[in-house]
Structure formats: C-alpha cells, structure tokens
A and B are shown apart, each in its own frame.
Chain A
Amino acid sequence: MDIEVIKPGLATSVQDAGRPGYYNIGIPLSGALDQYALCAANLLVGNEARAAVLEATLLGPELAFRAPAIIAVTGAEAAPKVNGEARPLNESFAVRADDRLTFDFMKVGARIYIAVAGGIDVPPVLGSRSTYALGALGGFAGRKLAAGDVLPVGKATAGGRAGRALAGDLVPTYPKSLELRVLTGLYFHRLTDEAARTFFEDTWTVAPEADRIGYRYRKGHALAFRERKQPFGAGSDPSNIVDAGYPYGSIQVPGGLEPIILHRDAVSGGGYAMIGTVISADMDRIAQMQPNNLARFVQVDMDAALKARAEYKGRIARMSAALR
C-alpha cells in the first residue's frame, strides 16, 4: 500500500511527534509544528496519536493512492478533493486505488496534516520518522517530498473507518490576528526600557521568512539593547551574547530589528540574546500563521503558562476520549 507524490506542494514532509534527546549535539526536536492537528489527524483514522503523517505548508501536494485507504486532513482551511470532488476537513474518508488527492489553497492557517490509516512507514531514525531537512535526517530520504517519491504506508489497525469527525470546540480555529503569550527572561534585561515596552505594545506582522526553523516578525519598532562593554567571547553588537543554547519558542532579535521565534527545527544555539519564550500552549498557533498575519505578544507568568498548558492538554484528552 503506497502513495505516489504527483506534485509535492511548496514544502511537504513526513513528521510525527518528534525526536527529543539530541539537542545537545544540535539535532532539534522536529515533528509536526502543530501537534494538536497531528494528534487529531491520527486519531480520526484510528492511528496512535504520535504516528507519522504528511505536513504540507501553504500549498498542498497532489497524491495518488495505489490501494484503498482511510485518510483524514486536519489543520489549515484547504478543502481536500478526491478526483476533483470535495471532501470534508477534520473528518476521515475513504479513497480507492488510483484516486487523486488534491487541495485548494489554504485560506486560513498555514499547515495541513494528512494522516493515512497505518501511518507513513518510513524507517525511524533515532526513534522518530520526522524529517530534519537541514541535517538530511529522517523522514523520506532526509528531505521534503519531491514529485515521483513513493511513500510506504504501514498496516492499518482494525480501528480505521470513514465518517469519524471532530465536533464542536474540538475543531480548531486559526485567527489571522492573535495573541502569543510570552514568559520574559533569559536576556530580556538587556533591552532598554523603551524596547521592553514597545515589544509588547506593537502589533507584529509575520514576515515571508517563516518556516520550520523559525518565524520572523516585522513592522514593529526596532528594539534597542542597553549599551555595554561586550563580555569576552560575545560578538561586538549589543544584541550579541556568548553563544548559548536556544530554548524552543525563544525569541531573538538579531541587530535589534526583527524578532524571530524558534520552532521545532530550531538552530540549537547561537550568539543572539533571547528576550523571552513563547509558552508551550501557543506553539501550535505560530505554526498556523501565514505571512502577513498579525500577532501581539502578551506577557504572562509561570502560573499562567502552566494553566494554559493544562487547558491545552485537557483539550487533547477530550479529543482522544471523543474519538476513541
């Protein structure tokens, strides 16, 4: 049971729940940027929540199925079509041998997740099937998909059936303008008082340079760092520090110009001061922002971050129960 890639879309790759444990040698977590949508797609087709799926960015792929399968599409609003006929989002459906799956443009949201009952069965590398393209590691041949690739599909369990759907508030929405909650810290104290204020007051626009490594934001005020004699080993710009590890979700502002939030294919460290970190509960929301979408940063404390995390986990638990 295989799937042939007719057109790869803009950036489509195999992703699962990720590859923790190797960040100390520069191999990042990887995995689906929107973990809620990954979980939903898998549960809809009867897979375990962490199975490997296809993640497509902004423009979906065209796929040909060589055998019948149960599939589901979650994430961004991009109506799936089978041989040109519309199919629902957030609901499992059947495809037959030789069926073609295509997508409309993503109207809202930036990433779709295509799960197949049985999961995409590329060989696991370091415990994960996720693609880390910068290191040519995992996924399909260590890279994003290309026309002519043939993807192996695993053996489906008995649980997969058509017509299973997400309902009510379990269906995610992706606003074009949103708030991202930030725990300040790290090198936040290096910002001037004014920069510390405008960072949270300004509305920021997602730049075209937004990918699995990081999301760049622009159109806010430049952020000045306090002048100082730079410590030995740090670069000469006031936004430089002695190269250090970057947390996932951390925000750096090279040269004080445009904030970059690192995501799951993060560069693991470097010499730019991080001024805070987006809380874990909001990382999926970044994944669904298109270029030109708007964000405001909202300062929260650890208690609020943990409460948001509990709500996020609670929602996944409710989804798991509803789709069991």
Chain B
Amino acid sequence: MAGPMPFETGAELPPLEIEPLTRTTLALYCGASGDYHPLHVDTDWVKANTPLSDVIGHGMLTMAWLGRLITGNFRTEQISRMATRFVAPSRVGDRITCRGVVVSVDRTERGSAIGFELVAETAEGKTLATGSATIEIEHTTEEAPAA
C-alpha cells in the first residue's frame, strides 16, 4: 500500500515573485523560444501596426514562470501535465507573482497525483494566466532516477 499523503487540499506553494518585467527579458525570450514576433520586442512596429502603445509579453513566458513555480518545488519529471489559459498579456514593468494551491490528492498505482490550481497575477491584481498542474509523487522510491 502507498504511504501517507504528502499534501492536503488547500495547501499553498510558496509564491514565486518574478523580477519586474524588462525589455531585455522579452528580447532574451524571443531568441530562446524562437518566437521573435515584433509584438514582443519592437515598440516602433507595435505603434505602427497595432492599437497598442507598447510591446506585450509572450503568453508562453508567463506559462514558463508558472513552470518555475513547480520546478522550484519538484523534479521536472514529476510534472506529468501542465495547462494554462492565457487571460491577459504581461507588460513591461509588471511585477508578477505565481501562486499554486493543492486542489486534489489522488492515489495512483505508485503513489499520489497532486493536482494544483495555478495563477499568475500582477501586483495590481490583474490575472495574466490561470492553469493547472499534476504532480506525480512515488511513495516507494524517494527520488526516482531519471530515464
């Protein structure tokens, strides 16, 4: 039989505070992700081609920060699933916090599956993304070696 449940519904991960968003970070993410759309990096282009007055951050960068919330607490291979709904784009200067709360704890063949609800929001309380993650925890082996 599996051991005791390591998490309880309602338990919160320590919030992850992201450094205020800079153009340098957006430029780095453009190069690293391969998504170098000018909407994320070129203010001149944004002003000339959209109703916006400045660049907006990548939704996938917000999702990557939510991923950091998880990798800061678990091994990457324990994350079996992550899902995100993009609600609003990030802006330069945003101070963003990522939060996660346990919403389900289910027994599996080898241990537990912990379900988290995730949210990324600005210091002003604007939600940028909501999501969920499932973490698999094996009870028999503490730290299973990677494949």
Q: Do A and B come from one complex?
A: no
